[in-house]
Chains A and B, each alone.
Chain A
Amino acid sequence: MYSEEFLDKLRTQVTDWESRHTKEFASEQKSEFTNDSHIPLKRVYTPLDLADRKVDYCADLGMPGEFPYTRGITSTMYRSQPWLIRQYAGFSKAAETNKLFKTMIKQGQTALSLAFDLPTQLGLDSDDPRARGEVGKVGLTINSFQDWETVFDGIEVGSIFVNSVSNAQAVVTLAMHVGMAKKQGKDPRTLKGSLQNDILKEYICRGNYIYPVKHGMRLAADSFMYCMEHLPAYFPVNMGQYHLSEAGASLVHEAAFGLGIAIAYMDEVVRRGGDIDRFASRFSFVISQDHTDFFGEIAKFRAQRRIFARTVRDRYGAKNPESMMMRVLSTNGGSTMCRPHPIDNQSRNAIACIIAALSGAQFIGLRTMDEVLGIPSEESTLASIRTQLIVGNEANLTSVVDPLGGSYYLETLTAEMEEQIQAELKRIDDMGGMVNAIESGYIQRTISDDAYRQQQQFESGELVRVGVNKFVSEKKEPHKMKPYVVDPADEIAQTRALAALRKSRDGQRVNDAIANLRKVAATDENVMPSIIAAVEAYATMGEICGALKEVFGEYRAPGLF
């Protein structure tokens, strides 16, 4: 990018500068400055660093909205379309959810999000002994199609975008949504929505798995293939890369493992004869961007955007530019929120929001300052929405596309992280891919080591949390705590409704549907049609997932650390 003459001149200038300031350099507070991924950080960056790393503007950065999308996936970014605000919320009862959805739709909301309680996420009915005390605790309870009918009673499913945080049992919630369209007399092809459906990260960190890894992967792929063929407006997977970071992964490991999982899904779709352009153009990521490494987070995002574009084009031969664009919801991690002074967390949220905006996120979701104390209050949720609005509207941050692009530091760091992420991806490929890397425990151990190192840095004071391990205030600030209490009556009501359903439905039809599902699961055939039939026969979540357990077995976490 630069002429040799210029670089020689600059080299002399830098050397002279260094010799003139050695005394000041000696006064630096640390002998080595590094980032979260242990990349050493120099005192200052110049065009020499870009030249050393052979950064080629035209090939590596290019223009926004064009390959390799380092500078953003659209040519105008926030000048045309502000990022969309996505705050997370959950409710426990189908009827309450229905009421709230109707209110939201009346107010112009066009997308709904469903978060489920743990038994539902793990394919357990409310009357399962393992579900005791957990029913309705962290989200909606879905025991059968009947609950889905209640949630969408009076709501035309084709007219609204529905996101489901489903993973291990995503095939069942997807089947329910298809069943609902049919019940309303609508063509399922009109369904709009998305599934989290990122099962591989569950084995690494989030823990909501049911079946052994390869069977979990098979079900995910069945749903991908079904969506590609029958639900063209559906987004079948939303990569939960954020969870890797929350489990402790460094920036490089988060990006590498997130991409590694994405590659595993794309490999599987291609292996099964799917069209890469159809699949990759419906792909999206939830990535973590914490306030704890401002430039590192931005560099990670840009490096990942570049790697994703190149991987989809070069590894799979995709043709459609849409397939190469990494669409991202950026969110900061609950683990970065601190307890002694919850109000300070809003400063952390604001920094995270600026990071996401400077990285070029399509959606942003922030934490709530009081979630360290329990379920967030409405007040704190609104404060986080307003923080996004302030960053987006008051700071004139959005007038220029990729405003940090070209920074010597940022571009060097982006190139450096790209190299490290690629090296990690190569390691995973050498292990035979992500499924092997998970089954061998490599991924889990690497993340545990990262988490342990962070804890050690926190305890030594190298990693600072204001008010927690540095600048600790003697005075404890009073705060209102609102721990969420589950009403035991809810669990009893769910169990009763389930018992009534088991009596009233056509038992023979259920048995036949379950027997058929068991048969299909044992072959290579796509399970989706038989799950839809089971759902429509009012087989319960537990019965459907139970039948699959009989065929696939269950995953038991090996207790690695």
Chain B
Amino acid sequence: MSSSKPAAAPIRILLAKPGLDGHDRGAKVLALGLRDAGFEVLYTGLHRTCEEIVTIATQEDVDVIGVSMLSGGHVAALTGIMNLLRAQDAADILVVAGGFLPDQDEIAAIKALGVLDVFDTDTRIETVVSFLRDAVKTAREQAK
């Protein structure tokens, strides 16, 4: 499990594209940015089901799943992912979301699912990097 990793281990993140949405420029740019910041980055490619995403995440022992969507179907996909993580006893994997988020209410609904934070398309890479470093550090300390 990710939380048992040493505090200084590189952060492993799975960037995931659920659903039928075909836009992944943001996911790919973020993948390159996180890689350059020292993260170990995996990317699912397009059109994955929630089951596939959670399976890859647990098999690959990632610290974080970053869910990218531009079609606006975040709530349904994230509900599925969070439920599966809990069911597979992998709720220690942190989840963040990003993409095109037109609605403040929707952001609140996503966070209520246990998703750590939501980043819109204007977010700078360094913002995501420092957020994830802090979040994973906290999670690893708590797991001790």
A residues bordering B, Cβ < 8 Å? 118-119, 122, 124, 130-134, 137-138, 202, 205-208, 246-248, 335, 339, 373-374, 448-449, 451-452, 455, 459, 468, 481, 483-484, 556-561
CB pair A559 B20 closer than 8 Å:
no
- On chain B, the number of residues with a Cβ less than 8 Å from chain A's Cβ atoms is 33
Closest-CB distance, B91 to chain A (whole angstroms): 24
Q: How far is the CA of A118 from the CA of B21 in the complex (A)?
A: 8
CB pair B19 A134 closer than 8 Å:
yes
Which residues of B lie under 8 Å from residue A207 when comparing CB positions?
A: 21-24, 46-47
Q: How far is the CA of A119 from the CA of B124 in the complex (A)?
A: 32
Not counting A133-B19, A335-B25, a sample of 7 additional A-B residue pairs whose C-beta atoms are within 8 angstroms of each other reads A122-B47, A131-B20, A207-B22, A452-B28, A481-B102, A484-B72, A560-B28
**Please, could you name 25 A-B residue pairs with CB atoms under 8 Å apart, sorted by A?**
A122-B20, A133-B73, A134-B19, A134-B20, A137-B71, A202-B22, A205-B22, A206-B22, A207-B22, A247-B25, A248-B29, A339-B121, A373-B102, A448-B29, A449-B32, A451-B29, A452-B29, A459-B124, A481-B103, A557-B46, A559-B45, A560-B45, A561-B27, A561-B28, A561-B41
Which residues of A lie under 8 Å from residue B31 when comparing CB positions?
A: 448, 561
Which residues of A lie under 8 Å from residue B45 when comparing CB positions?
A: 556-560
The contact string, 1 if C-beta is below 8 Å from chain A, for chain B 14-56, is: 0000011111110111011101000001111111010000000
Q: How far is the CA of A36 from the CA of B36 in the complex (A)?
A: 22
**B89: interface (CB < 8 Å):** no
Chain A residue at smallest Cβ distance from B45: A557
Number of A-B residue pairs, CB cutoff 8 Å, is 85
Closest-CB distance, B25 to chain A (whole angstroms): 5
CB pair A483 B20 closer than 8 Å:
no
Closest-CB distance, B117 to chain A (whole angstroms): 19
**B76: interface (CB < 8 Å):** yes
A-B interface, 3 closest residue pairs, ranked by CB to CB distance from nearest:
A207-B22, A557-B45, A559-B45
Which residues of B lie under 8 Å from residue A558 when comparing CB positions?
A: 45
**B125: interface (CB < 8 Å):** yes
Q: How far is the CA of A494 from the CA of B21 in the complex (A)?
A: 21
**B141: interface (CB < 8 Å):** no
Are A133 and B22 CB-contacts (below 8 A) given A455-B125, A556-B45? Answer: no
B residues bordering A, Cβ < 8 Å? 19-25, 27-29, 31-33, 35, 41-47, 49, 71-73, 76, 102-103, 121-122, 124-126
Closest-CB distance, A334 to chain B (whole angstroms): 10
Which residues of B lie under 8 Å from residue A202 when comparing CB positions?
A: 22
Which residues of A lie under 8 Å from residue B25 when comparing CB positions?
A: 205, 246-248, 335, 451
Q: How far is the CA of A452 from the CA of B25 in the complex (A)?
A: 9
Chain A residue at smallest Cβ distance from B101: A483
Chain B residue at smallest Cβ distance from A248: B25
CB pair A483 B32 closer than 8 Å:
no
Closest-CB distance, A116 to chain B (whole angstroms): 12
CB pair A559 B102 closer than 8 Å:
no
Which residues of A lie under 8 Å from residue B28 when comparing CB positions?
A: 448, 451-452, 560-561
Which residues of A lie under 8 Å from residue B76 when comparing CB positions?
A: 132-133
Which residues of B lie under 8 Å from residue A481 when comparing CB positions?
A: 102-103
Closest-CB distance, A143 to chain B (whole angstroms): 16
Closest-CB distance, B101 to chain A (whole angstroms): 10
Q: Which of A246, A484, A559 has the most CB of B within 10 A?
A: A559
Chain B residue at smallest Cβ distance from A556: B45
CB pair A559 B42 closer than 8 Å:
yes
Q: How far is the CA of A247 from the CA of B49 in the complex (A)?
A: 23
Are A208 and B22 CB-contacts (below 8 A) given A455-B125, A459-B126, A559-B45? Answer: yes
Closest-CB distance, A207 to chain B (whole angstroms): 2
Which residues of B lie under 8 Å from residue A118 when comparing CB positions?
A: 20-22, 71
CB pair B43 A468 closer than 8 Å:
no
Q: How far is the CA of A157 from the CA of B71 in the complex (A)?
A: 32
Q: How far is the CA of A483 from the CA of B93 in the complex (A)?
A: 31
Closest-CB distance, A545 to chain B (whole angstroms): 14
Q: How far is the CA of A481 from the CA of B105 in the complex (A)?
A: 13
Closest-CB distance, A466 to chain B (whole angstroms): 14
Residue from the list A449, A451, A452, A483 in contact with B102, Cβ < 8 A: A483
Closest-CB distance, B22 to chain A (whole angstroms): 2
Closest-CB distance, A138 to chain B (whole angstroms): 8
CB pair A455 B43 closer than 8 Å:
no
Q: How far is the CA of A133 from the CA of B80 in the complex (A)?
A: 13
Which residues of B lie under 8 Å from residue A561 when comparing CB positions?
A: 27-28, 31-32, 35, 41, 43
Residue from the list B20, B23, B32, B125 in contact with A459, Cβ < 8 A: B125
